[in-house]
């Protein structure tokens, strides 16, 4: 029999969703205040979305770089305290929405100030500070390419590198790249400084969070974005045709949710090349992540067992095929390089025995979504999702009321038909007005070793606070924000009480 596992409670809250005067949550005082509030609530896990700079659509799951940090998360006030911005710079700022991020407005306001601070840093430093030089040297394997990519990206106004950049830059012609780098040395250096700012602020923040006995759960998508520094600088790691264009893209096949499947469009890896390189790029990617976070959730875990490959020219996912991946060999290499790192496997959707075997043999906990336990299958029955009901959960899982891709619990419940509403209320033995906290209580009292609740649910928010609508690209996705008043002592005490009675204190013996 396995020894008893520590039981934990967590909150899912992305940095962008924190309060701030500047239109988007950042690594400033409200991030530290949120850590204090979680400690008061006896929460031991803070889960976030990927921390990378976002591209078109603002999705953190389609970043400009899987190694870089999102510059918009940098705290401007900290830069002002370092005398890199004058006092006047932050006295006047637009009137931003408090409950949603307007990414275009934030970008227009914040990026010029960040670049101004970076320029001041370079002028003030004279000779580059040793800490900055060390950072550039240690991160050179991705930082140089990212900084160069971003200068080109701005020059060509967000045009896709693989189809709209001049050929000499798209193909990274050596002479052309050298000339461009020399002509744009200052601009490239500014992007490096911004990454240094992010790194320093993030490291300080993580140290503080950990000092509160809270661990950070990070997130990483299996695939990378087509229009990213990752593909541009490592094209040999992806499947391409003889002209160097992506030959295949990722997605999922037709199912009960979509008759044409989902065409994600991410380029797919050439796993043979990856394997022959000793999975070096992936080892560097995960090393970078574990420098920033404590536990890693892998989005679309089944992609390490098999992935759905679709011809790049297709308009739907109907004609794709499943391609097998040597996941056993991959994780063996990861364990040899990094040790027994803590990973959560996002094993949602259509799973197979081989995916579950890969998950279990590596000791990774899978995920359970409480909302899914009350979802009908194609026959209008519910038994297909019985393993998402708490009375069927095993201990070695991480369970959620919902994730960033789900509706809020209140929004989800309101969307159900009467039959399903009655089923939920009967299962939880509650009235409609108590549904959210009954769901949370059910989650916390379950057998799983880790229970995580989105911040929107503990605040009992409706659908307007939903983080993402999968397979859509609109201004509301990824934009929800909390306000300062949300982090009340009354709410912290309510959560702490539930943590206590469910013995989710993060300690054995409780």
Catalytic residues, by residue number, are: 299, 346, 405
Burial label, 418 (beta-carbon count in 10 A; 0-12, 13-18, 19+) = exposed
Rounded-to-integer distance, Cα 317 and Cα 261, Å: 5
Tell me how crowded residue 84 is: count the other CB atoms within 10 A of its CB: 22
User: Contact at 8 Å (CB) between 16 and 24?
Assistant: yes
Rounded-to-integer distance, Cα 318 and Cα 339, Å: 39
Longest Cα pair distance anywhere in the chain, in angstroms? 70
- What does the chain come to in residues? 510
Residue tagged 């209008």 (tokens): 380
Burial label, 256 (beta-carbon count in 10 A; 0-12, 13-18, 19+) = exposed
DSSP state of 269: B
Residue tagged 């204190």 (tokens): 505
Q: How far apart are the first and last CA of the chain?
A: 21
Please report how the helices 327-338 and 280-292 are oriented relative to each other, as an axis angle in degrees rounded to 10: 50
DSSP 114-177: HHHHHHHHHHHHSSPPHHHHHHHHHTHHHHHHHHHHHHHHHHTTT--HHHHS-HHHHTT-HHHH
* Closest by Cα among 383, 388, 312, 317 to 348: 388
Q: Tokens at residue 50, please? A: 């990927």
In sequence order, the β-bridge partners of residue 100 are: 480
Rounded-to-integer distance, Cα 354 and Cα 324, Å: 10
């Amino acid at each position: 029999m396995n020894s008893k596992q520590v039981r934990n409670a967590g909150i899912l809250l992305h940095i962008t969703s924190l309060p701030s005067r500047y239109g988007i949550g950042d690594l400033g005082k409200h991030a530290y205040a949120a850590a204090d509030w979680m400690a008061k609530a006896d929460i031991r896990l803070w889960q976030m979305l990927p921390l990378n700079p976002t591209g078109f659509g603002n999705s953190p799951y389609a970043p400009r770089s899987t190694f870089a940090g999102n510059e918009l998360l940098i705290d401007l006030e900290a830069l002002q305290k370092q005398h890199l911005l004058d006092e006047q710079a932050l006295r006047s700022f637009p009137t931003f929405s408090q409950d949603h991020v307007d990414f275009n407005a934030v970008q227009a306001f914040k990026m010029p100030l960040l670049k101004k601070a970076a320029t001041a840093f370079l002028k003030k430093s004279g000779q580059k500070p040793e800490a900055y030089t060390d950072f550039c040297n240690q991160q050179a394997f991705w930082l140089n390419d990212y900084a160069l990519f971003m200068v080109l990206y701005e020059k060509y106004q967000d045009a896709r590198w693989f189809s709209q950049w001049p050929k000499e830059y798209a193909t990274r012609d050596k002479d052309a790249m050298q000339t461009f780098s020399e002509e744009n040395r200052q601009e490239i250096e500014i992007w490096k400084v911004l990454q240094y700012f992010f790194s320093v602020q993030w490291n300080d923040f993580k140290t503080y969070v950990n000092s509160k006995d809270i661990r950070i759960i990070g997130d990483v998508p299996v695939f990378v974005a087509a229009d990213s520094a990752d593909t541009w600088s490592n094209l040999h790691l992806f499947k391409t045709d003889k002209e160097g264009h992506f030959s295949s893209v990722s997605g999922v096949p037709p199912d009960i949710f979509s008759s044409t499947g989902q065409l994600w469009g991410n380029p797919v890896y050439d796993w043979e090349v990856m394997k022959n390189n000793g999975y070096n790029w992936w080892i560097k990617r995960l090393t970078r992540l574990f420098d920033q976070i404590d536990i890693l959730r892998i989005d679309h875990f089944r992609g390490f067992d098999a992935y759905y490959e679709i011809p790049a020219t297709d308009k739907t996912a109907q004609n794709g095929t499943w391609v097998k991946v040597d996941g056993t060999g991959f994780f063996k290499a990861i364990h040899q390089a990094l040790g027994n790192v803590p990973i959560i496997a996002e094993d949602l959707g259509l799973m197979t025995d081989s995916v579950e075997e890969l998950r279990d043999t590596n000791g990774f906990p899978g995920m359970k979504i409480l909302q899914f336990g009350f979802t009908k299958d194609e026959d209008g029955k519910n038994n297909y999702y019985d393993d998402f009901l708490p009375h069927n959960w095993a201990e070695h899982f991480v369970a959620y009321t919902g994730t960033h891709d789900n509706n809020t619990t209140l929004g989800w419940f309101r969307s159900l038909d009467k039959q399903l509403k009655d089923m939920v209320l009967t299962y939880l033995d509650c009235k409609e007005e108590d549904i959210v906290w009954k769901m949370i209580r059910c989650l916390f009292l379950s057998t799983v070793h880790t229970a995580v609740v989105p911040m929107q649910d503990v605040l009992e928010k409706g659908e307007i606070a939903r983080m993402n609508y999968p397979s859509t690209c609109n201004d509301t996705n990824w934009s929800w924000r909390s306000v300062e008043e949300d982090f009340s002592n009354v709410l912290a005490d309510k959560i702490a009480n539930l943590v206590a009675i469910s013995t989710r204190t993060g300690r054995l013996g409780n």
